[in-house]
Structure 1
Amino acid sequence: MTTLRRPDLTSITLAVLFIGALIVGAFLILQPFLGAMIWATMIVVATWPMLLWLQRKLWGRRSIAVALMTIALLLVFVVPLTLAVATVATHSEEIVETVRSVATTAWPALPEQLARVPIFGPTLVGIWQQASRLGIGDAFKQLQPYVAGVSKWLVSGAGTAGNLLVQFLLTLIIAALMYAGGEGAAAAVHRFGRRLGGQRGEDAVTLAGQAIRGVALGVGVTALVQSVLAGIGLAIAGVPAAGLLTAVVFMLCIAQLGPIIILLPATIWLFYQDATGWGTFLLVWTIVVGSLDNVLRPILIKRGADLPLLLIFAGVIGGLLAFGLVGIFVGPVVLAVAYKLLSAWMNEPPAPAEH
């Protein structure tokens, strides 16, 4: 008769503590690189189909495709985002002073020419008059204590120009390495998901990749298109500090707040300066650019992953507040995976009853 061997609790406890210490130590060592690693992962997953297409066009030469993709990332994605964050952080004090000056300025009356603009003019005048009666200037004064906090958040989140440059270089290098060996890394992640949760774990990994691609296409590309068009309109209309305003528009579009927050006050300023022609042009341009995300973003998100827009919006805003800029992509991915897993669990047919 064999006797059951009792588990050695001391060995199990020490093993768990040792593994926990290894995980904590690895996290502390990799902590300076986590931001760049997350950004690189998001970028590579989102642009992986483009790399494969480019590799096929280049006679199967992965090295040339990786080099071209790295240069493309440098020019199209990473540099604009880095410059936008650096610009907003550098001029954060200027933005604070502008908001404070608005709070102390008397509410101006709109010029009479604005009311004669077809369709939109009377509506804007009515909204402006109603807002002035509600005392929006007092609301600005109440928001003054929070403006400094927003400024500090921008500076701490963006860091100095040197830190941004280091993060940018790390992101680019890690992305290039991931491009070179992406298949092996993807297979390892799928094995980890399968080991962790079986088929559901592997499906969660696939879903995470689809969510990343959908968010990158829907949020990133839409924000880039809207900010570029907004900057073109501001520059053509002759609005001062068009470059800084374009950077702010890009950040607002990434945060899902839209470009109208900048474009509409710029339009009203043009009318207030008696530039009726340019004001009318920028008003029409604002309507076009502001409504572009309602058409472009759903199409791009559906191409990456079939996810509700409300879930994407909540993930972007919540992730941005919780994790900073990286959370723009981390938040929607986490919510998307949780949403899909919950939906799969709810729609799973019940197991047959045993007789």
Structure 2
Amino acid sequence: MDPLKLSTRNVVESILVLLLFIALLVALYDVMQLFLGVLTFALIFCVSFVDVFERLCRWLGGRRSIAAIVYVTVLLFIVALPVILIFSAFHTHANELNNWVEAWKTKGLPDLPASVKTLPIVGHELQLFWAHIQTDPQSILNEKDPEAKSMIQQAIHSGTGILGVSIQFIAGIAISAFFLAQRHQMLNPFRAASQHLFGEKDGNNLFQITEQAIKGVSIGVMGTAFITAGISWIGLAIAGIPFSLGISALIFFLVVIQVGPLPVWIPLTIWLFIEGHTGMGIFMVIYGIVVIILENIARPLLIAKSGEIPFLVLFVGVIGGLSAWGFTGMFKGAIVVAICYTVFNSWLAKKNGLNNKVENQP
């Protein structure tokens, strides 16, 4: 057979195999896309609690399955149960709001509380607006109806999104227990594949850098959430907010999913002003600003301290990935940038090594 035809045939076959492989990867991504959120949460919990889990295994005499059951039970009780209780409370207050609207339709609006009328800056404006609603409610309803519908739709959409993330969050805890129990068996195939693709030395380096990137983002996310929730609990306790521990757990959850504490903090501050606790309301405003500043300072600091990858490289990957792909993008971006950084440094080191050999030759 003609060697040229044989070579052309081999090239065509190689291209077809490559195209088939790419198509399979695209199809695999489409299949796994639904589970990326759950797997991301599982990854966060795995990296954040791996040392605690290994210590628990030693206490239980190396019985990893029992350790996984204890781990899931404790974590669900600490994290998931308060979130469920908060959503239940929201449902109760939604029913109360519905009853209040029905009473308004039949009896009219009550007078505005005196504590609200005396609020600084906005009290007088609120009093005038409330009086206008009392005298001519229909005109206000007609005027604000489109805005109200839009706000309700946005609230429903946001609530549905947060509920979906809550389910992923809880599922991530359960899956992380399986990952931790089978940690070594699950990591070995990825380490072997990395060594086959890039060589033993570069493959090990690439695997370690990827692990460092995931660890850096995970510690940044979980550490920031713990710090924000802890500081928030202190402020809520000082302000005398009921169920401050459960609310702090909800803030922890919102910080983990990158929403932040504001959706909880703002309604609580408004509630304090309405109840007449003006001093504590002002305290909550100032304390909330401090919490937000600390949250935004803690995240990059924890990411910078958590690994051997340069802070700027990891931070660019986190922010770029978050902007491009949302919550899971923090990990995708960090991993992609870390791999590119490692491959580039490895290539540069090889080139420098070859140049030094050439220069040293007589």
TM-score range, shorter chain: 0.5 to 0.7
> Which residue, 335, 346, 350 being the options, matches 2:352?
350
Post-superposition CA distance 1:33-83 (Å, at most 9, x none): 333233323322332232222222222222222222222332345667788
Distance 1:183 1:222, change over 3 A: same
Distance 1:60 1:310, change over 3 A: same
TM-score (ref. length: structure 2): 0.61
Unaligned 5+ runs, structure 2: 98-118, 124-147
Partner of 2:183: 182
Q: CA deviation at 1:217?
A: 1.7
Q: 2 CA distance for matches of 1:272 and 1:34?
A: 42
Partner of 1:38: 40
Distance 1:40 1:12, change over 3 A: same
RMSD (CA atoms): 4.9
Q: 1 CA distance for matches of 2:223 and 2:23?
A: 41
Q: 2 CA distance for matches of 1:338 and 1:82?
A: 41
Residues 1:109 and 2:121 aligned together: yes
Partner of 2:101: none
Distance 1:204 1:85, change over 3 A: farther
Post-superposition CA distance 1:115-146 (Å, at most 9, x none): xxxxxxxxxxxxxxxxxxxxxxxxxxxxx9x9
3-state SS of paired residue (1:325): coil
Q: CA deviation at 1:350?
A: 0.9
Post-superposition CA distance 1:140-195 (Å, at most 9, x none): xxxx9x989975873574465xx853x35643443232222210211111111112
Post-superposition CA distance 1:223-279 (Å, at most 9, x none): 233134325523642569979986885577447786589758976986798746425
**Contact 1:87-1:244 at 8 Å conserved across structures:** no
Higher Cα radius of gyration: 2
Partner of 1:233: 235
Q: Which amino acid aligns with 1:324?
A: G
Partner of 1:52: 54
3-state SS of paired residue (1:59): coil
**Contact 1:255-1:328 at 8 Å conserved across structures:** no
Q: 1 CA distance for matches of 2:55 and 2:184?
A: 15
Q: 2 CA distance for matches of 1:260 and 1:310?
A: 27
> Which residue, 220, 225, 244 being the options, matches 1:218?
220
3-state SS of paired residue (1:305): coil
Q: Which amino acid aligns with 1:75?
A: F
Q: 2 CA distance for matches of 1:224 and 1:319?
A: 23
Q: Percent same amino acid at aligned positions? A: 32
Distance 1:250 1:317, change over 3 A: farther
TM-score (ref. length: structure 1): 0.62
Q: CA deviation at 1:293?
A: 4.4
Residues 1:196 and 2:200 aligned together: no
Q: Which amino acid aligns with 2:180?
A: Y
Partner of 1:133: none
Q: 2 CA distance for matches of 1:207 and 1:84?
A: 39
Q: Between 267-276 and 341-350, report the one with greater CA deviation.
A: 267-276
3-state SS of paired residue (2:328): helix
Q: 2 CA distance for matches of 1:19 and 1:229?
A: 50
Q: CA deviation at 1:24?
A: 3.9
Q: Between 55-64 and 280-289, report the one with greater CA deviation.
A: 280-289
Q: 1 CA distance for matches of 2:162 and 2:269?
A: 29
Q: 1 CA distance for matches of 2:243 and 2:181?
A: 41
> Which residue, 331, 334, 337 being the options, matches 1:335?
337
Q: Which amino acid aligns with 1:109?
A: I
> Which residue, 324, 327, 337 being the options, matches 1:325?
327
Distance 1:50 1:180, change over 3 A: same
Q: Which amino acid aligns with 2:25?
A: I
Matched ranges for 1:193-342 at <5 A: 193-198=194-199, 199-234=201-236, 236-238=238-240, 250=252, 253-254=255-256, 275=277, 277-279=279-281, 281-282=283-284, 285-286=287-288, 289-290=291-292, 292-293=294-295, 297=299, 300-301=302-303, 304-307=306-309, 313-342=315-344
Count of residues in Structure 1 that have an aligned counterpart in Structure 2? 307
3-state SS of paired residue (2:7): coil
